[in-house]
Structure 1
Amino acid sequence: MTRRDVTRSLPGIALLAVGGVLAHLLATTVLGVNRLLLAVGLGVLLANAVGVPDWAAAGVETRDRWLELGIVLMGARVAVDQLLATGPTLLLLVVGFLAFSLVFVELLAREVFGIPDRLGSLLAAGYSICGVSAIVAVSSGVRAKGEQIAYAVATILLFDAMTLAIYPVIGRLLALPDVVFGVWSGISMVSTGPVVAAGFAYSEQAGQWATITKLGRNVFIGVVAVLYAVYYARRDSVGDATGVADWRSLWAQFPTFVLGFVAVAAVASAGLLSPGVVSLFERGYQWLFLLAFVGLGTSIEIENLRNTGIEPLLVVLTALGTVSVLSLLASILVFG
């Protein structure tokens, strides 16, 4: 990022910071609600009541960077010993449901709802891995049309908003243990931001487990993007259809901030961080999440969601309902 880019981003970043501080003050002194959910709400209000000002657009778009940095710092608070004790089981659940979701959405789109193959693939990647990021990652390999990308993105954003509001309520109605709620939301919700927000809205421990579980899905984004590119290249007999995926392609799609999270968690678990530094990291990621979630709210534009076609909605709704129920039962069975 150049100095000019930084200068252009500063007003929007300041706007996110103001929104984060306002959410914190309202949540802790007036409304008594979760401040992360309130931050999302303030972002939605800004985007749909007055719109994001042009002078703030570049800075507001940095929201993903603050979320990623917050996740890296959160590594200092992860109970690595507890994670390692359940690691193989958790990984098996993540991979199993990712593969099931990917195939299930493809079958629903093609065989049940008659959606065009390319749109179905965008929905499958978006739901099974990490939402809009996955849609963007696979779109070039799938060779999707612009309107298909727009439909898929709008559909995913709708379910991001819906699950962010509903999951904590369901969790409390069912009195789910923190770990169960975290694993369940990390497996069955869609995008990283809403997963983290819902998890921490439930509890600190649930937020950590939701984030860790979701990161396990995210690391497969490069592999799935390359597989889709190879499949469509072979099917359409266009370009390089050798099926050989080079490491540069995989690395370009890999969420590298995950490595930072693992590094911080390893250093903290080795006792190399003082309690003061760990406390500083904790306060840091909590405030970074506030900035990120104000920005997340600005991405939810109600008018755009109204224009989403019914078939993509039905595909993702069916997949979400099925995966949500199955993953909840699996999470209770394994971690309850």
Structure 2
Amino acid sequence: MVSVRGSIVPGLALLVGLGLGARLFAAIVPLNHLLLAILLGLAVGNLVGVPETVRAGVGTHKLWLKTGIVLTGASVALDRVVAAGPKLLVLVAGALTATVLLVEALSRLAFRIDGETGSLLAAGSGVCGVSAVVAVAESIDADETTVAYAATTILLFDAVTLVAYPAVGTALALPDRTFGIWAGLTMFSTGPVTAAGFAVSETAGEWAVLVKLVRNAAIGLVAVAYAGVYASTSGESAGGDRGTVARLWTPFPKFVVGFLAVVAIANLGLLSGAEIDSLANAADWLFLLAFAGLGLEIRLDDLRETGYRPVLVVLVALLAVSSVGLAVVRTVF
């Protein structure tokens, strides 16, 4: 018999309740239901707290996010992706490289932040948020305090960009595809990118997820590159006890494989229009659960404790890369 403490049922019930609440509020408040789910979760988490009995269930929000992303693959029109493919790959490579190098340069030269912290901020900003921070921290054996410092900074910007990007997109009247590509290129973590994209429109959400997953796929390469750089500067072997393939696969986001499989199945004509619509609806509900959980895990007290130098580094880099990135996306697409 599963104990209440170890059961996911209470926490899952809380996520469902917040998701339904967001749906109801969306009929009254002029905000997207996914953004409302995050705001409701944030309010509950910071005003009431998250009791131990619901933590296991709330922790499943990452699973619902990944599953929802996999299901959105059914709505991706492969012909449009293939047509934009080379340009997208160049944009992703350029944005990722520019962000990592700019954050590293600002950290070391302008703000005098220690090397490990700067590298974790660069990985988190350039690749895929906290997941990249953790992956690179493992590859360079960073201490836990440094990891927490960098992760908190990234989470702060996840919270800010989640609101700022849709606001900017609306103010500039950006086309849905343009907004989705821009958000996927320059925002940090997968959850906020997905929320911001679908808050604008389904099309914007699909493009945001697609571009973000391309960025996420680079996490293994970035982790290996950092391992090599730090090993060479310390005089150690870059291989360690694991081969290069293992170093690439371990941090790789496995749900990307599922997303690509669903894209292939849908575009081979193996799903009917009604089935694709059902999968899209299921993904929307899964995102509700995921974003409610994301809101519950945002701690405003932790964000307030972040030092100003990491925040300034990431802010300057984000403003530069997002501004240039938006100009390039509007020109190319």
TM-score, scaled to structure 1: 0.95
Structure 1 residue 298: Cα displacement? 1.6
Structure 1 residue 24: Cα displacement? 1.0
SS of alignment partner, residue 31 of structure 1: coil
Q: Determine if the alignment matches structure 1 residue 252 to structure 2 residue 250.
A: yes
Provide the identity percentage.
50
Q: Determine if the alignment matches structure 1 residue 103 to structure 2 residue 101.
A: yes
Counterparts of 1:110-129 in structure 2 under 5 Å? 110-129=108-127
Distance 1:7 1:273 in 2: 38
Counterparts of 1:129-168 in structure 2 under 5 Å? 129-168=127-166
Aligned position for 1:271: 269
Does structure 2 conserve the Cα–Cα contact (< 8 Å) formed by 1:141 and 1:225?
A: yes
Distance 1:256 1:303 in 2: 32
Q: Determine if the alignment matches structure 1 residue 61 to structure 2 residue 59.
A: yes
Does structure 2 conserve the Cα–Cα contact (< 8 Å) formed by 1:195 and 1:210?
A: yes
Letter matched to residue 249 of structure 1: R
Distance 1:6 1:225 in 2: 36
Aligned position for 1:316: 314
SS of alignment partner, residue 7 of structure 2: helix
Aligned position for 2:76: 78
CA RMSD of aligned residues (A): 1.8
Q: Determine if the alignment matches structure 1 residue 281 to structure 2 residue 273.
A: no
Structure 1 residue 242: Cα displacement? 4.8
Does structure 1 conserve the Cα–Cα contact (< 8 Å) formed by 2:165 and 2:196?
A: yes
More off after superposition, 108-117 vs 226-235: 226-235
Letter matched to residue 256 of structure 2: V
Counterparts of 1:6-21 in structure 2 under 5 Å? 8-21=7-20
Q: Determine if the alignment matches structure 1 residue 171 to structure 2 residue 169.
A: yes
Distance 1:318 1:14 in 2: 40
Where does the alignment leave 5 or more consecutive residues of structure 1 unmatched? none
Letter matched to residue 91 of structure 2: L
Change (3 A) 1:220 1:154: same
Does structure 1 conserve the Cα–Cα contact (< 8 Å) formed by 2:220 and 2:251?
A: yes
Distance 1:192 1:110 in 2: 27
Q: CA offsets per residue over residues 217-243 of structure 1, 9 Å max, x none?
A: 0001111111112221221234x3358
Structure 1 residue 5: Cα displacement? 11
Q: CA offsets per residue over residues 160-198 of structure 1, 9 Å max, x none?
A: 010011111111111111111011111111111101100
Structure 1 residue 142: Cα displacement? 2.0
Q: Determine if the alignment matches structure 1 residue 241 to structure 2 residue 241.
A: no
Distance 1:212 1:146 in 2: 32
Q: Determine if the alignment matches structure 1 residue 22 to structure 2 residue 21.
A: yes
Q: CA offsets per residue over residues 252-298 of structure 1, 9 Å max, x none?
A: 11111111111111111111102221121011000000000001112
Letter matched to residue 50 of structure 2: V
Letter matched to residue 26 of structure 2: A
| Count of residues in correspondence between the two structures | 332
Distance 1:136 1:103 in 2: 19
Q: Determine if the alignment matches structure 1 residue 332 to structure 2 residue 321.
A: no
Change (3 A) 1:241 1:269: closer
Does structure 2 conserve the Cα–Cα contact (< 8 Å) formed by 1:12 and 1:59?
A: yes
Letter matched to residue 321 of structure 1: L
TM-score, scaled to structure 2: 0.96
Aligned position for 1:298: 296
Change (3 A) 1:5 1:273: farther
Does structure 2 conserve the Cα–Cα contact (< 8 Å) formed by 1:36 and 1:290?
A: yes
Structure 1 residue 107: Cα displacement? 0.6
Q: CA offsets per residue over residues 310-335 of structure 1, 9 Å max, x none?
A: 10000000010000101000110011
Does structure 1 conserve the Cα–Cα contact (< 8 Å) formed by 2:181 and 2:208?
A: yes
Structure 1 residue 104: Cα displacement? 0.9
Distance 2:173 2:290 in 1: 28
Change (3 A) 1:202 1:57: same
Q: CA offsets per residue over residues 6-52 of structure 1, 9 Å max, x none?
A: 96222212211111111112212x22421000000011101110111
Distance 1:95 1:15 in 2: 39
Does structure 1 conserve the Cα–Cα contact (< 8 Å) formed by 2:22 and 2:36?
A: yes
**2:225 equivalent among 215, 220, 227:** 227
Distance 1:5 1:111 in 2: 52
Distance 1:202 1:261 in 2: 21
